[in-house]
């Protein structure tokens, strides 16, 4: 039943039960529908019997993937987790893509999976600059909430999760990140982590109101450093940090402002990780551990999709992203599996400085 | 003396009542930067205190560069004069310009521009037309203002303070820190470039936006490139706001405020972590920082978001006076603790 063997979770990979057994932490970014890429990555990683997960830190769509995965594991291991993830994304698409936000014929023809010609999207987009969700959706109807509650047995998850979960949300009052841990996670905590404030009302938990974790950590790395044993962190990047074209339309500019904001705290945190790593390697720090950083990403693919594609839940688009995710994870495993537990497989300074 | 503001050879403050040296970290905030001007004006009067490095973003970058130019031109008094001259020019340009407050705004206790026809027009326009469409010739009044006030050649030559000007690289999403020797008007404009109002600023083939997205301001240059262990933060972007915004403009304002504090919060947390290790004797050779804070959160929270674009002289001088008063209190309570200890509860403020 237990996915991560006790011994494996408690020691570094050298003393793990089998010599080729590796334990990693995952850091999952948000990105709306683009989270289907992460689903593809997880789907492929779950097939790899030699690999198991200790902790997952996640924001927004990453948080959704994390709880669905963890719930699936409590049901019956890897296979159940893979099935639960697929069922979740399939149902999510079926319930949301027939609504106002479906791509129009023009969107489908453009091959970029945007919603820029969808009447519903254009209407919503114009609406949200003038009226807030408090006005256009006063009953606060959120299709994600019911789907999460149908899919995930949160009570069981809080009791039995084999994975340490850390879901990031942003406290609206203080601007600081709030990390919800396994034993306190319910549907409200996941919704808080995914709450885009122009599309939904802030989520209230114990008297505090929360917005999407992306504003203050996408995702936060420190819980993996402080609360997990394994030193390996596999980052699954969805928010494009690099974009060679300078935007010159209002939409393009606003989209890029958000991408930059949603990467800012991660970049700053990775710089801190690199700084501390260097001091440890130089023998100048006698506490703390060198973290080993790995990245699975599809920036080159995601860059090509317009910002509006984050709201495109069309099954064709989601399964395409899922395939890309599987493919990237497959290649990553082939190249990097043996280096886990030994070294970082990405040049942290080059990527984040 | 122009080049002797920092004259202590070790770069560290004298723990006994002698000279004190701090690095300054100046946040952005448009017109709210007049608060920072007031803070600087008062600090410059304190002969025991001098500055080694200044990291500044946006309005903080403007204040930093104007201050450095003024110090080089005429010492402390010169710096005070040039700062005042700059902010007066902002007010003069405003009184002629598009964003001047209407009589309704002047009667408004939150100093907003919600009744200024120019502001309302721009605000609604910005969602549909980018500055590339509205202002294809890229006319930028700030550029003229800076060019008229600041002698950039003198800024590049001066050795009174080390300048670190933060901007955001649009292509890579990373912070870019420009330093003293390379500074020209473009670098300051880059640091202050709000992308829905101005074209991105191109410097050596790279495009830049306001530094606030990635460092408001960045603290690492003060850690790595300055000797003095004290950092005095002048905080003008409200981190705390008790009421939850429910209208679209308020939501967008708060989204931006949160984004504009996020890297600073993360960097302060790293500093707190390192400090704990240093104090426990577990980090050899790392510099132990002392953090201090002068803030205007409670004042700025009461102002309208649009007041960041309000350059009315009565508003600017009001913020200036508040800044002076806060700096005065800070000096009385804290100057003796510079070089000795951190005087802000980092845990409370940034965790």
Q: In chain B, what percentage of residues exceed pLDDT 90?
A: 64
Checking if the pLDDT of A52 tops 90, the result is: yes
Report ipTM (2 d.p.): 0.85
How much is the pLDDT for A41?
98
Cβ–Cβ contact A261 with B under 8 A: yes
pLDDT of the residue at A106? 66
Strands A292-297 and B20-26: unpaired
- The answer to whether residue B189 scores a pLDDT higher than 50 is yes
Question: CB-hemisphere CA count at 13 Å for A251?
Answer: 11
Section B242-255 average pLDDT: 86
Strand partners, A178: A169
Average pLDDT over every residue of B147-160: 95
Q: Contact, A213 vs A191, CB < 8 A?
A: no
Query: How large is the average pLDDT for residues B26-53?
Result: 97
Strand ranges, E, within chain A: 22-28, 51-59, 164-171, 177-181, 203-205, 208-212, 232-237, 292-297
Distance from CA of A184 to the nearest CA of B (A): 19
Distance from CA of B203 to the nearest CA of A (A): 13
Q: Which of A63-72, A92-101, A320-329 has the lowest mean pLDDT?
A: A92-101
Q: Mean pLDDT for chain A?
A: 87
Mind listing the pLDDT tens digit for each residue in B274-291? 999 999 998 887 899 999
List, for residues A64-83, the tens digit of each pLDDT value: 999 999 999 999 899 999 99
Residues 6+ apart with CB under 8 A from A289: A225, A231, A280
Q: What is the mean pLDDT of chain B?
A: 89
pLDDT of residue B208: 97
Predicted pLDDT at A203: 95
A31: nearest Cα among A324, A284, A329, A313? A313
End-to-end CA distance of chain A: 42
> Which chain B residues contact residue A172 at CB under 8 A?
241, 244-245, 254, 258
Beta strands in A140-195 (DSSP E): 164-171, 177-181
pLDDT band at A7, cuts 50/70/90?
A: very low
> Strands, E, within B2-141: which ranges?
20-26, 49-57
pLDDT tier, A272 (very low <50, low <70, confident <90, very high otherwise): very high
Q: Mean per-residue pLDDT for A27-35?
A: 94
Answering whether pTM is above 0.95, one says: no
- Residues B347, B351: Cα–Cα separation, whole Å: 5
Interface residue B206 vs chain A (CB under 8 A): no
Predicted confidence band at B197 (pLDDT cuts at 50, 70, 90)?
confident
Q: Which residues of B touch A283 (CB under 8 A)?
A: 284
Q: Residue B170: closest CA among chain A residues belongs to which residue?
A: A246
Share of chain A above pLDDT 70, in %: 83
User: What pLDDT score was predicted for residue A1?
Assistant: 39
Q: Does pLDDT of B96 surpass 80?
A: no
Nearest Cβ partner for B173 among A198, A215, A259? A259
pLDDT for residue B183 is more than 80: yes
Picking from A250, A272, A286, the nearest residue to B128 by CB comes out as A250
CA A282 distance to own-chain centroid: 33
Is B130 in contact with A241 (Cβ distance < 8 A)? no
CA atoms within 13 A on the CB side of A7: 8
How many other CB atoms sit within 10 Å of the CB of residue A338?
11
**pLDDT surpassing 90 at residue B128:** no
Residue A15 has a pLDDT of 38
Structure tokens at A2: 């237990």
The stretch A87-107 carries a mean pLDDT of 78
More confident residue, A205 or A2: A205
pLDDT band at B1 (very low <50, low <70, confident <90, very high): very low
Bin A215: left if φ > 0, else alpha if -120 < ψ < 50, else beta: alpha
Question: Taking CB atoms and an 8 Å cut-off, how many pairs form between chains A and B?
Answer: 161
Cβ-based contacts of B246 with chain A (< 8 Å) = 132, 134
Confidence class of residue A16 from pLDDT cuts 50, 70 and 90? very low
The pLDDT, as a whole number, for residue A5 is 42
User: Would you say residue B299 has pLDDT above 60?
Assistant: yes
Taking 90 as the threshold, does the pLDDT of residue B79 lie above it?
yes
Tokens of residue A109, six digits:
């023809």
Instruction: Collect all residues of chain A within an 8 Å Cβ-Cβ radius of residue B285.
Output: 284
CB < 8 Å to A129, chain B: 127, 248
User: CB–CB of A242 and B267 under 8 A?
Assistant: no
Q: What is the model's pLDDT at position B269?
A: 93
Stretch A320-338: mean pLDDT: 97
pLDDT over threshold 70, residue A119: no
- Of residues B51 and A13, the one with the higher pLDDT is B51
Cβ-proximal residues to B292 (8 Å cutoff; 6+ apart), any chain: B22, B230, B231, B232, B233, B330, B334, B337, B338, B342, B343, B344
Q: Does A75 touch chain B (CB under 8 A)?
A: no
Contact of A270 with A221, CB cutoff 8 Å: yes
Please check whether residue A281 touches B, CB under 8 A. no
Radius of gyration of chain B (CA): 20
Percentage of chain B lying above the pLDDT 70 cut: 88
CB B6 within 8 A of CB B50: yes
- Does residue B313 sit at the A interface (CB-CB below 8 Å)? no
Which is nearest to A215 in space by CA: B170, B264, B247, B255?
B255
> Measured between CA atoms, how close is A254 to chain B, in angstroms?
8
Mean pLDDT of B96-110: 67
Q: How buried is B150 (Cβ within 10 angstroms: 0-12 exposed, 13-18 middle, 19+ buried)? A: buried
Amino acid B170: pLDDT: 95
Q: Which pLDDT score is estimated for A2? A: 43
């Amino acid at each position: 039943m237990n996915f991560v063997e006790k011994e494996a979770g408690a020691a570094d990979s050298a003393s793990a039960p089998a010599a080729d057994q590796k334990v990693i932490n995952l850091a999952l970014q948000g990105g709306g529908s683009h989270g289907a890429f992460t689903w593809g990555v997880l789907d492929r990683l779950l097939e790899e019997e030699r690999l198991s997960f200790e902790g997952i830190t996640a924001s927004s769509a990453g948080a959704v993937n994390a709880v669905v995965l963890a719930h699936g594991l409590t049901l019956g291991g890897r296979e159940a987790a893979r099935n639960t993830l697929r069922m979740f994304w399939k149902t999510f698409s079926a319930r949301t893509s027939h609504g106002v936000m479906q791509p129009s014929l023009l969107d489908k023809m453009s091959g970029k999976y945007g919603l820029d010609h969808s009447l519903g999207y254009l209407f919503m987009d114009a609406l949200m600059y003038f009226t807030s969700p408090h006005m256009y959706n006063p009953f606060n109807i959120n299709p994600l909430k019911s789907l999460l509650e149908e899919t995930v047995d949160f009570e069981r998850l809080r009791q039995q999760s084999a994975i340490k979960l850390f879901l990031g949300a942003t406290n609206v009052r203080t601007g600081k990140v709030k990390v919800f841990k396994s034993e306190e996670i319910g549907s409200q905590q996941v919704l808080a982590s995914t709450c885009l404030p122009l599309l939904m009302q802030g989520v209230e938990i114990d008297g505090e109101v929360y917005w999407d974790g992306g504003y203050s950590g996408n995702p936060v790395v420190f819980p993996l450093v402080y609360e997990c044993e394994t030193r390996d962190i596999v980052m699954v990047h969805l928010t494009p940090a690099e974009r060679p074209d300078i935007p010159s339309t209002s939409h393009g500019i606003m989209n890029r402002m958000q991408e930059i904001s949603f990467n800012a705290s991660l970049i700053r945190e990775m710089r801190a990780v690199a700084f501390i790593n260097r001091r440890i390697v130089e023998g100048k720090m006698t506490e703390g551990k060198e973290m080993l950083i790995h990245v699975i990403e599809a920036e080159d693919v995601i860059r090509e999709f317009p910002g509006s594609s984050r709201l495109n839940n069309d099954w064709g688009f989601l399964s395409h992203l899922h395939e890309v995710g599987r493919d990237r994870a497959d290649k990553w495993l082939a190249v990097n599996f043996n280096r886990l537990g030994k070294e970082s497989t990405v040049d942290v300074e080059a990527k984040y400085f | 003396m122009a080049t002797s503001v920092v004259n202590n050879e070790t770069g560290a403050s004298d723990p006994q009542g002698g000279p004190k040296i701090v690095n300054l970290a100046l946040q952005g905030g448009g017109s709210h930067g007049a608060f920072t001007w007031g803070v600087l004006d008062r600090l410059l009067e304190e002969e025991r205190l001098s500055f080694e490095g200044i990291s500044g973003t946006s309005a903080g970058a403007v204040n930093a560069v104007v201050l450095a130019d003024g110090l080089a031109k005429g010492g402390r008094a010169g710096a005070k004069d040039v700062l005042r001259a700059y902010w007066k020019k902002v007010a003069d340009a405003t009184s002629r310009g598009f964003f001047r407050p209407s009589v309704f705004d002047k009667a408004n206790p939150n100093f907003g521009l919600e009744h200024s026809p120019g502001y309302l027009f721009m605000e609604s326009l910005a969602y549909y037309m980018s500055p590339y469409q509205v202002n294809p010739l890229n006319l930028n009044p700030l550029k003229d203002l800076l060019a008229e006030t600041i002698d950039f050649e003198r800024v590049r030559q001066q050795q009174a303070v080390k300048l670190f000007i933060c901007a955001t690289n649009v292509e890579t999403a990373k912070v870019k820190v420009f330093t003293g020797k390379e500074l020209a008007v473009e670098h300051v404009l880059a640091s202050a470039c709000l992308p829905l109002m101005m074209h991105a600023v191109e410097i050596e083939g790279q495009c830049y936006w306001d530094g606030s997205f990635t460092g408001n301001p960045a603290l690492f240059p003060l850690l790595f490139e300055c000797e003095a262990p004290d950092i005095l933060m002048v905080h003008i972007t409200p981190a705390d706001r008790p009421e939850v915004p429910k209208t679209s403009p308020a939501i967008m304002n708060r989204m931006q405020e949160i984004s504009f504090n996020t890297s600073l919060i993360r960097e302060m947390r790293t500093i707190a972590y390192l400090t704990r290790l240093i104090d426990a004797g577990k980090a050899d050779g790392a510099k132990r920082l002392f953090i201090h804070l002068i803030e205007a959160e409670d004042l700025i929270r009461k102002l309208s978001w649009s007041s960041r674009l309000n350059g009315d002289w009565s508003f600017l001088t009001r913020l200036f006076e508040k800044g002076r008063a806060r700096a005065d209190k800070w000096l009385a309570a804290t100057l003796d603790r510079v070089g000795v200890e951190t005087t802000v509860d980092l845990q409370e403020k940034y965790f």
